[in-house]
A and B are shown apart, each in its own frame.
Chain A
């Protein structure tokens, strides 16, 4: 692992490491497009793909005990030369819908790289299906990992398409906002939500919708907040289509940036900027308390723990924690300021890839000294049972979120976990048959 690592002072931004053959660490907490699609209440997913691609998505549904919401149509070799691609989608989906015990109000139809590459007329498939099943809203969805470097990534696309069924309303509700893009229900103990509630502003999240009808209500909110950049294309599309305003308030861990987010939100809501000084102090106190317990124990963090891994590292380093290493293969534009800060002020901070083939050997080295990991991949690579099982921010936000993470750090340092058992669970927070 050491010879793959670069100090941040010498790391290139945004991609510190060259591409090549890739390893896959067995940390399964991150969500995939199936998990995200299941957030849409009452939706049924149908994948039209090759066997190898189907296998992963079907068993994702099986493990989360959701096979009753998952169907598929297999692609055969002959489909590529007998001009039957569109027909297979239309007739396959039709057959499946006739077999379902109850017609769903919305169907997510997924195609994959090969159909896009072959120029299949997917819009016409969706149009024909909509003609055949007028009571069903069909959403065109894409599982196209070969196209992750051209245009929107599959993750961004999924998060955008997830909100396609939302419809324009005559009058947007000025006392209602949405939170888009979070896989997990936001922690409502956060000062943000308490403040919204105090000002009689409703905040809708897909993670809290219990029916398709309640999900459609999200189309009435006048503002969409996004916490992660992957959700921004969804909000931009809704701004264009429904006139809902978009405000990107990224998850972050610095007092200044959290404050800037709240100021921007207050302005958008036409409210005075809230005074969260008490919450800010509480968060710092929680970090200080965690530091008094953890001390100079080396801390390692991976990019799956939070969308803003460098922001978290910076806050911990500024508090005094001994953050030694970041596991990341690429950074996002929003990381740039923290990257430059860390490069200047903590130049020895190590950056280690997760995908490099040689990382397959990383966890074989047993370390005798205690390490505290944040994130499942960091736990796997350092083989430490003392880890924070934090996946993609876990719905924590603002000063309250910082305090929550501080609490988890302390808990992880004191209470070891069964690494294999915890990180093998696919889709953090989802039901599992394992």
Chain B
């Protein structure tokens, strides 16, 4: 099926997800792509680029390299480049469409680079076609597998926040407000994957008694931690006072019982009045808040990969503009990024909720934290 759009935008790619999730962790991230292609990420996906020195580079891939299978140039560039970053904690390498076409073996390249630099390498399998959800999931899981410590003492009050990247939460205080909210409610932040926490803090994720999963971009990480360290997770962004309180209670219960909770799904019904489109865990949490505090019955539309989605039975995957427009035509209100507005039918109430992974920096100034009581004023 073709994915076609006449007027709406597109979500960030998997390579952007990799770069964004590893940005603050002290490693060197290299995207195997053409010169200039990092401009897209640096301009539209990465609000930290100007003020917070980047360690994200592009390899300057050429057609000739691809035809001749010149992997050596890539390896040499990364090995030489790593020398420019003293204290580099790791090197992450990932690909774009051209390497995918020729079947570039990033595991082999990673092994070679690791051998030559003696720096840990995360070899990731992106292709610039999948969404950022895939990239973030891959990068965070690879990081956790490589660096998280074993046999740490557990503390039930400690919580890891999973899925924080500017692609979903920008850099306007949304993640900080979630941290504060949890702290105010008796939790200690053990680590935040991956904004505002150090490499070392992330390696000690195993100390947490519970994980708060705030984006489907870390769904696989939550499952990984559950399996490896036995840490249960609660899926939900604490939007609004009522749903926020439920998140707190669910976290406490999960820490005690060891059982995970899909709170953003279990605390709501599938409504027909309104539709919320975007990253599904956040959208699902917004639906909860709308139902619990405003009496608005809403449902979630999933515009991204099914495998990461947090949607209930009866809710739709809407891939492509036609599917989205058809879904919008069935409701009286739409909560969506402003770049969806051109396909919202006339007469339908449109509530803008800007999402960096869709509209980049276009509406960053209008983004609001909806955590806890911020919900009242924020939307």
Q: Residues of A with Cβ closer than 8 Å to B?
A: 19-24, 26, 28, 50-56, 58-59, 62-63, 67-68, 70-77, 80, 88, 91-92, 95-96, 99-100, 112-114, 117-118, 144-150, 355, 357-358, 360-361, 364, 420, 424, 426, 433-434
| A7, chain B: closest CB distance, angstroms | 21
The contact of A20 among B51, B60, B64, B339, by CB within 8 Å, is B60
| A91, chain B: closest CB distance, angstroms | 6
Interface pair B63/A146, CB less than 8 Å apart: yes
| B358, chain A: closest CB distance, angstroms | 9
Interface pair A62/B97, CB less than 8 Å apart: no
Interface pair A58/B4, CB less than 8 Å apart: no
Docked pose: A145 CA to B51 CA in angstroms: 27
Q: Do A72 and B5 contact each other (CB < 8 Å), given the known contacts A23-B57, A50-B129?
A: yes
The contact of A364 among B5, B44, B53, by CB within 8 Å, is B53
Q: Write 19 A-B pairs (CB below 8 A) sorted by A numbering.
A: A21-B30, A21-B80, A21-B81, A23-B54, A24-B38, A50-B128, A50-B129, A51-B11, A51-B12, A52-B97, A54-B10, A55-B16, A55-B44, A68-B7, A74-B4, A74-B5, A92-B4, A145-B37, A434-B361
Question: Nearest residue in A to B341 (C-beta to C-beta)?
Answer: A67
Interface pair A75/B13, CB less than 8 Å apart: no
Docked pose: A149 CA to B54 CA in angstroms: 27
| B19, chain A: closest CB distance, angstroms | 11
Most buried by B among A21, A24, A71, A147: A21
In the bound complex, residues from chain A placing their C-beta under 8 Å from that of B14 are 51-52
In the bound complex, residues from chain B placing their C-beta under 8 Å from that of A358 are 84
Most buried by A among B6, B14, B101: B6
Docked pose: A434 CA to B53 CA in angstroms: 22
Question: Nearest residue in A to B10 (C-beta to C-beta)?
Answer: A54
Question: Nearest residue in A to B49 (C-beta to C-beta)?
Answer: A26
Docked pose: A28 CA to B46 CA in angstroms: 14
Interface pair B53/A360, CB less than 8 Å apart: yes
Interface pair A99/B362, CB less than 8 Å apart: no
Interface pair B11/A92, CB less than 8 Å apart: no
In the bound complex, residues from chain A placing their C-beta under 8 Å from that of B16 are 52, 55
Closest 8 CB pairs of A and B: A52-B128, A56-B40, A52-B13, A21-B81, A145-B34, A74-B3, A21-B57, A146-B34
In the bound complex, residues from chain B placing their C-beta under 8 Å from that of A62 are 9, 339, 359-360, 362
SS class, residues of chain A in contact with chain B: helix
In the bound complex, residues from chain B placing their C-beta under 8 Å from that of A74 are 2-5, 10, 129
In the bound complex, residues from chain A placing their C-beta under 8 Å from that of B36 are 24, 145
| A340, chain B: closest CB distance, angstroms | 27
**Residue B15 lies at the interface, judged by CB distance under 8 Å to chain A:** yes
Residues B275-321 near A (CB distance < 8 A):
none
| A116, chain B: closest CB distance, angstroms | 8
Docked pose: A355 CA to B15 CA in angstroms: 20
| B323, chain A: closest CB distance, angstroms | 13
Docked pose: A92 CA to B33 CA in angstroms: 26
Question: Nearest residue in A to B34 (C-beta to C-beta)?
Answer: A145
The contact of B128 among A53, A58, A95, by CB within 8 Å, is A53
Interface pair B362/A433, CB less than 8 Å apart: yes
In the bound complex, residues from chain A placing their C-beta under 8 Å from that of B362 are 59, 62-63, 433-434
Q: Do A52 and B37 contact each other (CB < 8 Å), given the known contacts A88-B2, A91-B2, A357-B57?
A: yes
Question: Nearest residue in B to A73 (C-beta to C-beta)?
Answer: B4
Q: Mark B59-90, 1 if CB is under 8 A from A, else 0.
A: 11111101000000000011011001100000
In the bound complex, residues from chain A placing their C-beta under 8 Å from that of B368 are none
Q: Mark B339-361, 1 if CB is under 8 A from A, else 0.
A: 10010000000000000000111
Docked pose: A52 CA to B36 CA in angstroms: 12
Question: Nearest residue in A to B76 (C-beta to C-beta)?
Answer: A20
In the bound complex, residues from chain A placing their C-beta under 8 Å from that of B44 are 55-56, 59
